[in-house]
Amino acid sequence: MTANIPLVNGTSQCTVTAHSSKSYEACIEFYSQFLQLESESSNANSTLLRNSGVSLEIVLREDANKQAESEARVKKLASERDTSDWRSTVSDSFVFKSADAASCRAALDAKFSNVQAYPTDLFPMEVYAVDPTGNVVGVTQTKNAVSARPTAPPLSAGTFTSTLPSSAQSTIGLDSTDEKSIQLSADAVGDSSDPALKQKAIAVMTSGGDAPGMNANVRAIVRTTIAKGCRAYVVMEGYEGLVRGGPEYIKQFTWEDVRGWSSEGGTNIGTARCKEFRERPGRLLGALHLIEAGVDALIVCGGDGSLTGADLFRSEWPSLLQELKDTGKITPEVFSRYKHLNICGTVGSIDNDMSTTDATIGAYSSLDRICRAIDYIEATAKSHSRAFVVEVMGRNCGWLALMAGIATSADYILIPEKPASSREWQDQMCDIVGKHRSRGKRTTIVIVAEGAIANDLTPISPNDVHKVLCDRMKLDTRVTTLGHVQRGGTAVAFDRILATLQGVEAVNAVLETTPDTPSPLIAINENKITRKSLVDSVKLTKSVAEAIHAKDFKKAMGLRDTEFVEHLNNFMAVNSADHNPPKLPQDKRLKIAIVNVGAPAGGTNSAVYSMATYCMSQGHRPYAIYNGWSGLARHESVRSLDWKDMLGWQSLGGSEIGTNRCTPEEADIGLVAYYFQKYKFDGLIIVGGFEAFVSLHQLERARSNFPAFRIPMVLMPATLSNNVPGTEYSLGTDTALNALMDYCDIIKQSAASTRGRAFVVDVQGGNSGFLATNASLAVGAQVSYVPEEGISLEQLSQDIETLAESFETAQGRGRFGKLILKSKNASKVFTPEVLAEVITAEAKGAFNAKSAEPGHVQQGGLPSPIDRTRATRLAVKAVGFIEDHQEDICSARADDEEFDPDNRIVSVTATVLGIKGSDIVFSSIRQLYDFETEIGKRMPKVIHWEATRAIADSLVGRKKVEVKH
């Protein structure tokens, strides 16, 4: 072996202390043989062994007691050689990198028999030995800490190919750090001529309870880190891994290590609650191990407890480093290099209990499990006319119970934020259930949050509710506790996308954060990813629980986000329907019509149900126009909506009142006006897609000729294409995304099983690439083609080349199914079948492609909880808009001479209700139609998902070709 091509590298400097002359001499022989280090200097009490990358000093300090301890440790480890894995039984170890672990194994002759090799002695990739002082010393030839593939074999005898040094190859305990000192390796100093050695290192960890979507978050963080030229690390087992340290717990990840993680539930890097980290000595160890790995920034995905620990860790970081330097555990150079630690939080919690963010990673996946279960329960409850009490998670937050109550039209919910006395909640529940039953409802669903309490803080259990329903209502009642089913399974599309976008933003945040910047928390408000103060968010979250425990329930509710309070008010209003006295006086009660226009979309029935029941609670009279404008013009298909007839609509897909693409002008706008006048409608809510948008425009323009249209009119966008101007979210998009995602997951599984195969999936969406772009992000598709970009021959050629490289990298390993998503209108020439044939031909045998067409499956079956709950929220806002704008237009309705359609006060009463960024907005149809719409393309002029598209491409390593026109 030549001196400039070492057998091992990794930990730059370490010290081993022997406590007897015999042990001292044995250590010199052991390390010289095992690691093939050469003696540089030696005296009676110290010997320095080294190669070009590793310095190891062996020091003699005579101590009979410690020598006895060393001998006992050697004996114990020797006795466990064949029964235990030393890697899991010792608290610290040295681990070095090597291109040839077999040579290290062979270098230990019979004199040093305490050796373990993995996976086998014949072909070891990791070798661990016990030195004469009882230390466990290892070498590994894996490319990184989690790889199962070895590096290339030796080029020739005596010559070895070595990987770059790793700064995370030893575990150093505080109890023995006086004998070992961390110094900067080349990559930490950053003064190497090799740019690869100047990279920053970002670590990610998951902590607390697991949540669906955490894997997508880790994948996005790892790949974004690598894409930005930094080194990516993961901390295994949460804070416990941080305290334990070493290559088994702080691992460098590569691009391929997180392949396929988006579609996997739980967290693949593990999570554990750690008592040690709650104390300063544990955090001191964590700081030492992060420095040892060369980590500059830490991203924590977890709940409020985990994020509290993260912010405390950052606040203590300067004092922790000072203590490490003062005690000689790190050098002054290391102290200077790592004196600041950037920390960022992403919230992973199924309870959705973090203030300042609308949704946490995993919450909507958990809600999806709950709604599916209740949908199933509803069927058996209806069969037997039973009552069911369903317990859901939520110790200090009733979000899951509340949203499930809205999404499934539950009769009653019990949440910790709004308790009542034991007598009051029993009376109230029995009153509502009794009214529902008396009006013909055969089922009763009561949802109880895990942390439900009475106002004296007495817990309310499902059994308590069961007893009341049985004893007082004489109902056949069953209890269902969903338990950890709520945490299980893969993430829904929303959580995959949220986790991915937040992961990308988290990396940006830690790279942009300065020492003076408060630790950021990545949140979502409405439809926008935002940064909030981590410490303020955690403080606000904890204050809710404190207010509840202090019985200050008004304060607790006030501290919840306004959206939570809004949802609770909506639930109570919709739930009361026409069973309680109307809230509004007789002269304020209106006749409000609702019509569905366009293709069916998930959440349409939820919108109709919520609008109608909310109208009833206010005192308004809701009407449905059945089968769209053509149904009205041809058959006068107007019916007053009845509560009993709508039971179950909240969770039904499709459109119960019927829909089609016909516009008022196509149906006969004069007849439409006649029936509006006949029924004296005071307001109109249109639920639909681009045809609904055009319909609203036609009605608004016809106001000059038809006074019947001089009423407040609101469009609630509902289309899987998400192409309605004025909003970034349409009802049905989430349902469609989930349906397409489930389809793609199955197709991808088939492709992975076949190995060298890619599927070209045909995606709906008209001229909008929204569905293909977001589905690509959710399922990790290698390529997506959208109408906004088309398919150029140059890009297609580049994509085929990238696919071939990816399949070659795979070398037959699992999780390598490839997907190509193609929007139907991305190209009329390249149909999915043609595209698959072209790709197969151009791949020249490297792989093949097949086409897959999910068709109208993409419209989805049952609407997703997001579409159900947002439909309710938007329906209530739409009715509120009609109530608020009656006076603005009522005078114009009667007087033709003074009516001015261009009057701003009048024109804004025809509006599109949408979500833009972090706000819910009402946008005038005239402004949108005239200035913000590509009418011919049926698209808004501004494509709001372009940034998402760039992220989807970057996370799969797609190379974009700039086409010159």
Binding residues: 209, 273-274, 303-306, 349-351, 386, 393-395, 450, 478, 484-487, 661, 719-723, 757, 764-766, 850, 856-859, 938
| Beta strands per DSSP E along 238-386 | 250-253, 297-302, 342-347
Candidates 100, 351, 799, 867; catalytic one? 351
Distance CA 115, CA 138 (A): 9
* 930: exposed, middle or buried (Cβ count in 10 Å: 0-12, 13-18, 19+): exposed
Distance CA 557, CA 544 (A): 8
Q: Alpha carbon of 566 to those of 402, 569, 622, 872: distances in Å?
A: 11, 5, 22, 11
- DSSP-derived letter for residue 208 is S
Distance from chain centroid for Cα 566: 24
- With a CB cutoff of 8 Å and minimum separation 6, the contacts of 653 are 600, 602, 605, 735, 859, 860, 861, 862, 863
DSSP-derived 3-state class of residue 378: helix
Structure tokens at 339: 């004196």
Q: Alpha carbon of 873 to those of 561, 570, 600, 869: distances in Å?
A: 15, 7, 19, 6
3-state SS, 115-174, equals EEEECCCCCCCEEEEECCCCCEEEEECECCCCCCCECCCCCECCECCCCCCCCCCEECCH
Distance CA 551, CA 449 (A): 17
Distance CA 16, CA 25 (A): 12
Q: For residue 953, indicate whether it is catalytic.
A: no
Structure tokens at 96: 């070095």
Which amino acid makes up residue 207?
A: S
| Residue list, annotated binding site for Mg(2+) | 304
Residue 908: how many other CB atoms lie within 10 Å:
19
Q: Is-cis flag, bond preceding 664, omega within 30?
A: no
Q: Do the beta carbons of residue 331 and residue 55 sit within 8 Å? A: no
Structure tokens at 899: 């009516």
Question: End-to-end CA distance of the chain, in Å?
Answer: 57
Q: Do the beta carbons of residue 389 and residue 480 sit within 8 Å? A: yes
CB crowding 345-375: b at 16 or more within 10 Å, else e = bbbbbbbbbbbbbbbbbbbbbbbbbbbbbbe
- Residue among 679, 577, 580, 699 at smallest CA distance from 623: 679
Q: Do the beta carbons of residue 521 and residue 533 sit within 8 Å? A: yes
Q: Alpha carbon of 900 to those of 694, 703, 805: distances in Å?
A: 21, 9, 64
Residue 548: how many other CB atoms lie within 10 Å:
22
Q: Do the beta carbons of residue 906 and residue 610 sit within 8 Å? A: no
| Residue list, annotated binding site for ATP | 209, 273-274, 303-306
Distance CA 297, CA 733 (A): 36
Q: Alpha carbon of 300 to those of 25, 230, 297, 424: distances in Å?
A: 46, 17, 10, 42
* 326: exposed, middle or buried (Cβ count in 10 Å: 0-12, 13-18, 19+): exposed
What share of residues in the chain are helix, strand, coil (percent, to 5)?
Answer: 45, 20, 35
CB crowding 141-158: b at 16 or more within 10 Å, else e = bbbbbbbeebbeeeeeee
Distance CA 493, CA 477 (A): 35
| Torsion sign over Cα 349, 354, 359, 364 | positive
Catalytic positions: 351
